Amino acid sequence: MCEILLKKKKIIPKKTRRLKSRARRWTLLKVAGPLVLLVFVALGLYVTSLDQVIRQKFAGKRWALPAVVYARPLELYADLPFTAGMLAEELQLGGYRRDKTAEDPGGYDLRGNVIRLVTREFAFPDGLEKSARITVEFSGSVVRKISRTDSGEELALARLDPARIGSFHPLENEDRIVYSREELPDLLIKTLLAVEDRQFYSHFGVDPLGILRAMFANIRAGKTVQGGSTLTQQLVKNFFLNNERTLQRKFNEVIMSLLLEVHYSKDEILTAYVNEIFLGQDRGRAVHGFGMASQFYFRRELKDLSAAQFAMLVGMIKGPSYYDPRRYAERCLLRRQVVLEVMRSEGVITAEVFALAKADKLEMSGAVQSAFNRYPAFLDLVRRQLGQDYREEDLTSDGLKILTTLDPQVQMQVEKHLGETLSALEKRTGTSELEGAVIVSSREGGEILAVAGGRNALQPGFNRALDAQRPIGSLIKPVVYLTALANGYTLASPVADVSLTVIAAGTKDWRPANYDKKEHGLVPFHEALAHSYNLATIRIGMDVGVEKVVENVKRAGINRDFEPYPSFLLGTAELPPLEVAQLYQLFATGGFYQPQRVIGSVLTLENKVVQRFGLTVEQRFPPEDVFLLNTALQRVVNNGTARSLLNYIPETVQAAGKTGTTDELRDSWFAGFTGDRLAVVWIGRDDNKPTGLTGSSGALVVWGKIMQALHPQPLELVEPEGLEWARVDAGIYGRSLGAFRDNVVLPFVAGTVPAGAERASSSSAPAAGDTQEWNVPGVLNTIRDWFQ
């Protein structure tokens, strides 16, 4: 039986078994080897691609830094018309904080009529202005004295760092202030490492022990209470990846962290983390980095923060929205206390500092409104002017510093009175949906000080100051009269204000009319302008030639093509308020073309001046003719359609200006200038329906209230050589319809004094407030304004 079993059981020799096993392993190796090799090659290629991503983004320009836009710097000196309240308001706008006692840069205190402040260091085009402790004393509505707070030394001038009014962001809408490693406060670094990554300087990008500690802590707590990510991993997640919770994203994070540590030093990684970490949201702008967060939450430089403030910011890393101090103060305070405990236990701060910091209230300032495009209409104009010299990429990534001409005090008055007056006009007239636009500039320099693109100044969108092209009505008339003065007319020339029919081939006959539907007979040239007589203007314009008027509009700086139709003489040309301001700038400067500007200079991130926008001046009209025109424009205010302006500013200001009204009262305009400022106001409706307002009953009211608040300087016209003054007999015009005229003293270009006129001197001309001529029409205009 046993023999039979032995025969059935086949015995395989050991050597044969070894050979078969080796064959199977070889077969497996031949199959698996290429697969493993393929995996390693693919992994190598994948890691190489991640390595390229890291080096390309991290080695070059790491952040797209927005161009930062600043207002004009505030210069204080004795006798400057400025109140303590105005200075406090502008300091708040500039990101200053009100302290009990001003000790650190960016702080001020207000006690009665005395403000003590510590200015912030700022690089101006002419050099670095270091931080200074100054005291400003006020007497009523003027600055009485400026002195150094420490020594009491009196200062002739103090220049404050300008308010940040906006920035031009890339698509990501991120904002940050970039610091170098040397600029980072030691207390911040120690706190950050104690709370977020104590083994930072010893691990290689990933901390396995830290991951295990976090795992056990989370298991014990039954929830996630501790993270195991290193600072390097957090930087990779924020800088290169997103917040997706996937295995691939986590794998990428680990690999990229290892690669980052291979290529860059610990200090480079730490510095990048401090500048990159997300710490809050300011409306549409993401606040990145401790530098920007320090300004956003405390209005302080990073180096000036206290232990409690550093603890708050570091604590917010865990959840900027969850620990937002402005929304969840108690939650944020508890988190800050946890961080302070860590700082004490790790020896970052002493027990005494801990006790003081723990007792501190949760200090924070209100949101810095100036930091995110506080003035969208003005910034729109800045961006357009910069676009002529810079690429969009330069404006949104190179960190340029744009120093502009915006005057916050003027801008605030423009916004206030435009909005308030439009609301009052709507109630008075029963009209709804009124809109408006305002441009204010300096009279002599052409710097644009304020822009309002609509009644809601904070709302971006359609910028009526720049883009609302509307018929300008009688605002065109000064060009007509200037053209006439250059072609043989004088201020005393008699003009027939009687009806006429304009016949042109291919068009219907045109019979223009005056606003009051009346004829005024033979009138003096200056009276026709003062009362904005249409019939007289048409006759003057047709006499000198419409083509010449159109040409002079272009010479004044309006680069548009207009057809020389007779209706052009009454303002059918459509212009935005910005171009009207440019037109009137020529009158205000005595015939000099001077492009209006909003930018003073442009500096690089390193504070090197790359461009200055200086004055460009070109004489385009004879100063004698412009002086005569401006004299007539002053009469528009003193005795003409703009006489109601004297309800808002004194007659001694001797403002010059012109009202404008279009057909069916669709547009209300006023343009004018004082000794220091020029302004243009437009009121209308976006749907182009009638407003029920004339130039004097609408736009002039806004203009007057703005100027009233700004306390304008008197307009003193500089008389050029070659002029003569003479008293003109009113009898040469016959009797005025509705009033008797008095004789009037007028200026003339030498050799053009009319026959029979009595020679006089400029001192014989009526002073401000005198009503030497046609008193009754002036009264009638005022009464008419009451009903309008």
Chain position carrying tokens 């002419």: 126
Q: Could you tell me whether strands 599-603 and 521-524 are parallel, antiparallel, or unpaired per DSSP bridges?
A: unpaired
Residue 785's closest CA among 516, 536, 401?
516
Contact 571, 475 (CB under 8 A): yes
In three-state form (DSSP H/G/I as H, E/B as E, the rest C), the secondary structure along 731-746 is HHHCCECCECCCCEEE
Say how far apart CA 273 and CA 176 lie, in whole Å. 12
From 563, 559, 558, 547, select the one nearest 475 (Cα to Cα): 558
Considering Cα of 391, then 396, then 401, then 407, what sign does the dihedral take? positive
CA distances (Å), origin 167, targets 120, 401, 467, 714:
19, 9, 22, 36
d(CA 500, CA 314): 80
For helices 307-316 and 186-196, give the axis angle rounded to 10 degrees.
40
User: Which residue has 């708040």 as its token pair?
Assistant: 92
Cα–Cα distance list, 763 to 620, 635, 747 (Å): 29, 16, 11
Q: Tokens 């528009």 correspond to what residue?
A: 636
Closest CA to 617 of 590, 588, 592, 584: 592
Q: Which helix (H) or strand (E) holds 404?
A: strand 401-404
Q: 138 — phi, psi (to 5°)?
A: -120, 150
118, 133 Cβ separation under 8 angstroms: yes
Distance CA 534, CA 517 (A): 10
Q: Which two tokens stand for residue 5?
A: 């079993």
- Nearest Cα neighbor of 103 from 268, 284, 300, 354 is 300
**Catalytic member of 196, 276, 301, 444:** 196
Give the integer Cα–Cα distance in Å for 94 and 571.
42
Of the residues 474, 532, 644, 696, which is catalytic? 474
Using alpha carbons, list the distances in angstroms from residue 172 to 59, 297, 379, 768. 20, 21, 19, 57
* Catalytic status, residue 415: no
Residue 474: active-site member: yes
3-state helix, strand, coil in the chain (%, to 5): 45, 20, 40
Q: Which residues 6+ apart lie within 8 Å of 420 measured at CB?
A: 705
- Enzyme catalytic residues: 196, 474
